[in-house]
Structure formats: structure tokens, C-alpha cells
Amino acid sequence: MSINVSMECYTANGADYRGCQNRTSHQGGKPCLYWNETFQHPYNTLKYPNGEGGLGNHNYCRNPDNDVRPWCYVAEYEDGVYWKYCDIPTCHMPGYLGCFKDNGDPPPLSGSSETSNKLTIQTCIKFCRSKRFKLAGMESGYACFCGNDADYWKHGEANSTECNHVCFGDHTQPCGGDGRINIFDAMIGACGGNYSTDAGIIYSPDFPDNYASSRVCYWTIQVPGASLIRFDFALFDIRDSSDMVEFLDGSSNDVLARFDGRNRPYDSLNVSASFVILYFYSDRVNQAEGFAVLYRAIKDNPRSQPPVSKNDINTSEMITERVGPGTNAARSSKILYFITASPSQSNQNMPVWTIYALAALLTLTAIAMVSKILLHLTVKSRRIPAQDSSENCSQPSPSEPWVITYKPSTILFFKKKLKNQHGDRSPLVGD
């Protein structure tokens, strides 16, 4: 599958990053050197011929020495430095609010707290949600803080790379840093809620974990002045026909649509109302990833509005962690990153003469296709083998949503200030 390079991200310190960025930054960055041409430096394909650390016959940013983030060698020498970090965004789960400083007096989140050598983002969010707090924060890889403080940013915001200490319970996740706290909205994955904004995303209960059994949840979407509310599923994983998602008319409680494991949503669901109820039910047996549904309310005349798709809601990073049935979140098999593009521009009204021209062009195209079919039936054409289009890093259309798949492994995390040629030793090989 092609990857949209401009929308790539990496987890933790990026040791498992296998993306296609080949410049230190997209805007004015230095071009990276090919790893099979850097024989004068410690990391190259001659020393690591089996793809260790992601090295190969390419010039993509990698982190073969477990540094703080992906980097690459550059041709220009500046004060003796022949490598640079790559400007690649860090991946985050839904509800991520940012990395903030914690001076401790008072702390950013002053509610309940706990420490655990099995801390993950999911366990911290679940803990704070169970204590009925709206915010959850992770610090130093093992500490979880909860709170409702709206001014959690009072000590200042920090760079996201300062919150990249790995979680003790899952080395593929970032859980804050020393004096730095990653803060999440703990209401993500709550069982029920009320929505009144023009656009938003509703997640299944217990998200980003699998939804639990015996769940009965209601969400209300009530947007004053809306003439139409349109729904699109970015994620849908419901088991068999017992577990279900229903859309109800908020005024009459009539069922408008019902989806389950056998009746899956394919197209957008349009509801001509300003008040909709989303209902979810799971039986005592099934558990699965659940769903993420995007909604957008259209006001005034719905005919004058452009079509709504998953790209219309500007969710620059909507991230879910896939956890197999019966497995713990800290041992997830892989992570899927759902990344959507920015909103597209509205279509303008088309002149009448343009419509006639398009109709004529369509007619001529149909005639040409019929002629080609008749010619094909009478002339035996040669079979031309299809070209292989499995190039991993081709550029797609910027308006398409993409899924970037990583297979993280355990990360040994430490910082290194300078990759000098003599003191730079590789963790990939022995002494």
C-alpha cells in the first residue's frame, strides 16, 4: 500500500519507523544520503547487510542506534556534524492534548494518581475514567495522574519529543518524561455522552481497548439549526449480529439504521434531523475493536453543501491501537494509524454550457467504448503482462485517508548527543 509521506508519524523513539521521508524536514530540509553509500560512517549496509535497523539501499530516515528519534546522514558538514534528526511528527492516540511541563507546585493534574511498572496509555486512561476524572496524564514512563483542571498548561507546553519516555508496560508507547507529562482526554472511550458541536468523532466504549461485554451505551448528537447530520465510519469492527450500533431519531426514538457484524456500514448515513441518538449494545460473549464514527452537521440548505466524507473533518491524527481478542493492550500485535487529510475546498456552481459540454463528451466516450468492444470481439488482442506497482513509497492523492502499519518491537531507549565516527558503537552487534 502506498504511504502519504507528508502524513507519516512514528511511535516512541522511532526505532521501528519504516516510513519514506528522505529529507531532514519537508520544508528546506537537507537531503539524506543513501545508507549503501555511507561507508565512511558507522552505519551503512556493508556493516549491516541484513536490514538491521531498517537500513538498506535507500535514503529514508531511520534510527538504527536507538537515539531519541529518526535521523539520517547528510552531505554538508556543519561544525563537524554530518547527520541530522528528521522532522517527523510523533504518533498519538485519540484524545491527545499535548506534552506539558510539571514543576510540581501545584502539579498540572491534582486528582488521583498511581504508579505502575505496567503502565500504558490505555491503563492510565481507564484508571482516571473509573475515578470520574476528565483528564489523564502519564509521566516518567510509570506514573499516572488524573484531574479536571482546565489550566493543566499553567507551567507551559513542552516539545512532544520531551515526552517520549517509553511506557513501562508497552515500549512502543510514549508516557511523558522527567518533569514532562503527556495529557489525554479521558472521556475518549466513555460509555455515552452528549455532543452539540457541528462536527466530531464518537468512539466505542473502552476505546482504544476492545469494547467489553454487556455494554449498553447512548450518545446524543443535538446540533441546533442543523437540517442534516451525516455520519461516516472510520473504523467498524463489531462481532456477529448480537452486538449492534443503532441510530435513532432523537424526537420519536424511531430506529433509522442498524449495523452489526453481518450488516456493515458502507456508505455515508444521512439523517434529516438536528437530534440523533447513537445506541450501542454488546452481549455477554463478544469483544472487538469497536467503532469510530465521524459526524458533521449541515445547516441551512443541505443541497448547497459539498459532499461530506472522512476527509471533511480535520482530524490530523486519529489513531487507534488494534488489540487482538483476549490479549492485553501492552502486548498488541500491531498499531494502525488512521490519518485523514485536511478539508477539501467547496465546489462552485457549474455553468449551464459546461453541463451540456460534459454531456456531449460523455456521449462520445460511450460511443468510443462500444466501438472498442466490437473491435475487441473481432480482433484477437495480445495479452500484455501487468506491471508490478508494489512500490512502497509512491505518492498518493493527498485527499485520501491512509493506514500506516507498524510492527513495533521492544525498544532500548537512551540519548546520544553526537554520532562521531570513533565513539559511535552499535547496539545491533557485539563488541
Amino acid at the residue 263: N
The answer, yes or no, to whether residue 96 has pLDDT greater than 50, is: yes
The answer, yes or no, to whether residue 300 has pLDDT greater than 80, is: no
Other Cβ atoms closer than 10 A to 25: 13
Distance, CA of 180 to CA of 178 (rounded, Å): 5
Residue 385 has a pLDDT of 41
Q: What are the structural domains, with CATH classification, of the chain?
A: 1-92 (2.40.20.10), 96-185 (no CATH), 193-299 (2.60.120.290)
pLDDT digits (tens, 9 = 90+) for 24-48: 987 778 899 999 988 888 999 999 9
Q: Which residue has the cell 547496539?
A: 427
Distance, CA of 278 to CA of 193 (rounded, Å): 10
In 170-299, the DSSP E strands lie at: 170-174, 180-185, 193-195, 199-203, 216-222, 226-237, 244-249, 255-260, 269-271, 275-281, 290-299
Higher per-residue confidence, 287 vs 222 = 222
pTM value is 0.51
pLDDT level of residue 391 (50, 70, 90 thresholds): very low
116, containing H or E segment: none
Task: Decide: residue 366, CB within 10 A, 0-12 exposed, 13-18 middle, 19+ buried.
Answer: exposed
Checking DSSP bridges between strand 166-167 and strand 318-322, what pairing results, if any? Answer: unpaired
Residue 81 has a pLDDT of 67
Longest CA–CA span in the chain (Å) reads 85
Nearest in space to 173 (alpha carbons), one of 3, 419, 413: 413
What is the per-residue DSSP string for 286-325? Answer: ----EEEEEEEEEES-GGGSPPP-TTSS--S-EEEEE--T
**Mean pLDDT of all residues in 234-249:** 89
Residue 68 has a pLDDT of 77
Distance, CA of 97 to CA of 306 (rounded, Å): 30
Residue 9 has a pLDDT of 78
Strand, coil or helix: 279: strand
Residue 4 CB contacts under 8 Å (≥ 6 apart), including other chains: 339, 341, 395, 396, 398, 400, 402
Q: What share of the chain is helix, strand, coil (3-state, %, to 5)?
A: 15, 30, 55
Residue 338 has a pLDDT of 35
pLDDT digits (tens, 9 = 90+) for 5-27: 334 777 777 888 888 999 998 77
Q: Which residues pair with 193 in a beta bridge?
A: 219
End-to-end CA distance of the chain: 39
Q: Which residue has the cell 552499535?
A: 426
